[in-house]
């Protein structure tokens, strides 16, 4: 089913809506007159939106947030941040923090008197792990036997496949460039400290998307754009113009007005990852992703090129 065949929602429920992307989409749809309810484990007193506590595992009073009697859409963003050491325990927790809430939501939707009109399920292009020079689109096969991140993301997507909602979009998102996002803030901080050189060979691909384009794709998936409809199934949220790591770092240095910086060898990155308790694969692997579905549906990116995206996000403010 496409959004044009489903009803336009009057309210949107966002599971995990107090994260960086959740806050952005909550503000975006609210500004368009839709009601917003956030399912959260911890209420954020700074949020202007209605919040309902849940544990992400079992049913409870939060079920009423989905059964509003109005046309309701669900956006599931629940899950632990991937910025952690790739230990067996952490990988299991990454998987559990995604799969358990998704199963709880699926079970809840089966009990609703009024079915959901849309379900947007968060996912990531990291499902393809390190894809080398291959292009990754909605039709690309998922590799087998990889614990991180394929072994996390694949069961996450499969958990949502049981949803009774007829219009379910699995949104495989690349790196979202947003001035307020942890990813871009960390990169700009490294560049400002003189550590903005390429990582290892610098040839690993970086797929990316500007926050405004990501929000636009979500609106299309919710049926809020009269000109672009997105069918149910997997959709890749990435521009058609991925860049290599070396190009990304050079562009950041240019926009932040910093001189060339020495490269970061893979061995040094792995050592630093231990100290910072993060995963070196975040910098050493890459995907060359783009969306066949968005192109077929006539979606146009506002920021298709990296330089114009960084200019809008950073501009002369970095001087």
Largest pairwise CA distance in the chain: 60
The structure tokens 């979009």 sit at: 169
Q: Which of 180, 311, 309 is nearest to 255 (CA)?
A: 311
The structure tokens 């490269």 sit at: 263
**Residue 10 contacts residue 119 (beta carbons within 8 Å):** no
**pLDDT band at 10, cuts 50/70/90?**
very high
Structural domain boundaries of the chain?
A: 3-177+208-241+287-304
- Higher pLDDT residue, 264 or 242? 242
Counting Cβ atoms within 10 Å, is residue 154 exposed (0-12), middle (13-18) or buried (19+)?
Answer: middle
- CA pair distance 307, 304, nearest whole angstrom: 9
Instruction: Give the model's pLDDT for residue 154.
Output: 94
Instruction: Give the model's pLDDT for residue 288.
Output: 97
**Residue 118 contacts residue 221 (beta carbons within 8 Å):** yes
Instruction: Give the model's pLDDT for residue 6.
Output: 61
Instruction: Give the model's pLDDT for residue 265.
Output: 83
Average pLDDT over residues 158-183: 93
Average pLDDT over residues 246-259: 95
DSSP 3-state assignment of 316? Answer: helix
Q: Which of 103, 125, 209, 129 is nearest to 171 (CA)?
A: 125
> Could you tell me the two tokens for 128?
């393809």
For residue 257, the cross-strand partners are none
CATH superfamily of 3-177+208-241+287-304: NAD(P)-binding Rossmann-like Domain (3.40.50.720)
User: By mean pLDDT, which of 177-186, 227-236, 273-282 is the weakest?
Assistant: 273-282
DSSP 3-state assignment of 308? Answer: helix
User: By mean pLDDT, which of 9-18, 80-89, 100-109, 127-136 is the weakest?
Assistant: 80-89
**pLDDT band at 267, cuts 50/70/90?**
confident
Instruction: Give the model's pLDDT for residue 318.
Output: 44
CA 242 to mean position of chain CA atoms:
16
**pLDDT band at 162, cuts 50/70/90?**
confident
Q: pLDDT for 231-243, tens place per residue?
A: 999 999 999 999 9
């Amino acid at each position: 089913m496409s959004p044009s065949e489903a009803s336009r929602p009057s309210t949107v429920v966002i599971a995990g809506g107090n994260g960086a992307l959740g806050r952005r989409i909550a503000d975006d749809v609210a500004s368009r007159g839709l009601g917003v309810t956030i399912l959260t484990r911890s209420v954020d007193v700074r949020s202007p939106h209605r919040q309902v506590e849940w544990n992400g595992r079992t049913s409870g009073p939060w079920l009423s947030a989905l059964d509003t009697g109005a046309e309701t859409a669900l956006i599931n963003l629940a899950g632990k941040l991937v910025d952690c050491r790739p230990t067996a325990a952490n990988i299991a927790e990454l998987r559990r923090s995604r799969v358990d809430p998704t199963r709880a939501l699926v079970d809840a939707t089966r009990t609703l008197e009024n079915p959901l009109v849309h379900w947007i399920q968060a996912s990531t292009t990291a499902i393809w792990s390190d894809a080398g020079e291959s292009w990754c689109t909605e039709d690309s096969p998922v590799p087998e036997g990889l614990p991180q991140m394929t072994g996390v993301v694949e069961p996450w997507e499969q958990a949502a496949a049981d949803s009774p909602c007829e219009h379910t979009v699995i949104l495989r998102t690349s790196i979202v460039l947003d001035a307020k996002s942890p990813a871009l803030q960390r990169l700009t901080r490294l560049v400002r400290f003189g550590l903005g050189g390429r990582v290892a060979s610098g040839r690993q691909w970086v797929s990316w998307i500007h926050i405004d384009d990501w929000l636009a794709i979500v609106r299309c998936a919710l049926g809020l754009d009269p000109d672009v409809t997105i069918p149910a199934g997997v959709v890749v949220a990435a521009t058609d113009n991925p860049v290599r790591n070396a190009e990304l770092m050079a562009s950041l240095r240019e926009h932040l007005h910093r001189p060339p910086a020495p490269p970061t060898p893979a061995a040094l990155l792995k050592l630093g990852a231990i100290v910072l308790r993060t995963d070196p694969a975040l910098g050493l692997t890459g995907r060359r992703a783009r969306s066949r579905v968005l192109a077929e549906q006539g979606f146009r990116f506002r920021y298709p090129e990296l330089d114009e995206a960084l200019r809008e996000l950073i501009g002369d403010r970095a001087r």
